[in-house]
Amino acid sequence: MKKLILALILIIPVFSYADSLYFGVYTAHFEQNPRWNNNNSLVAVEFDDYLLASFTNSHGFQTYLAGREAKLNNYVSAIYGVTYGYDPKCLKIVPGDCYVSTYDPSFLPALALKFSYDTGPVSLTAIVADYISLSIGIDF
């Protein structure tokens, strides 16, 4: 119970400044691997073109994103920032094998395209990088 109260105390101020709250629905990867996770459990908060997100990455590990959104037009944006939770070996950035027993999360740069369509207070969003992640947002 103490952890829940502490989490609420930390989260509520962020939501009070939020412009949007997003929930992940599904992820599909361009490169197929039956071991990859397609349920990203994304929860993201957007405020003043900044984005904070927590999600389960393709390898099944908790990952965090802090980024900024640069709008290209009414429907397309570029998201750039930093993530923590990916192992560079699993992304083939550095040599080595990707094993659960040796998983070593790191800070890494992030870059993706965001396609969104607003229908009143609800946003339908697709994030595209080496995957497509679908989410539903609630605009405040």
**Average pLDDT value for residue range 18-38:** 85
End-to-end CA distance of the chain: 29
User: Does any domain span residue 132?
Assistant: yes
Give residue-wise pLDDT tens across range 83-94.
999 999 888 788
30 domain residue, yes or no = yes
Residue 9 maps to a domain: no
Whether 1 is in a domain gets the answer no
Q: What is the CB-side half-sphere exposure of residue 102 using CA atoms within 13 A?
A: 7
Domain extent, residue 56, equals 19-139
Residue 2 resides in a domain: no
Per-residue pLDDT tens digits for 32-73:
888 888 888 898 989 888 999 999 988 889 999 999 999 999
What are 72-85's pLDDT values in tens digits?
999 999 999 999 99
pTM for this prediction:
0.82
> What does the DSSP 8-state code read for residue 59?
T
The first and second tokens of residue 125, run together, are 């969003």
Chain-centroid distance, C-alpha 74: 21
73 domain-assigned: yes
Q: What is the DSSP letter of 1?
A: -
Residue 8 falls inside a structural domain? no
In a domain, 13, yes or no: no
**CA atoms in the 13 A half-sphere facing the CB of 114:** 27
Split into its structural domains, the chain has a count of 1
Highest mean pLDDT among 11-20, 23-32, 35-44, 110-119: 110-119
Q: Would you state the structure tokens that stand for residue 64, as one six-digit string?
A: 């965090």
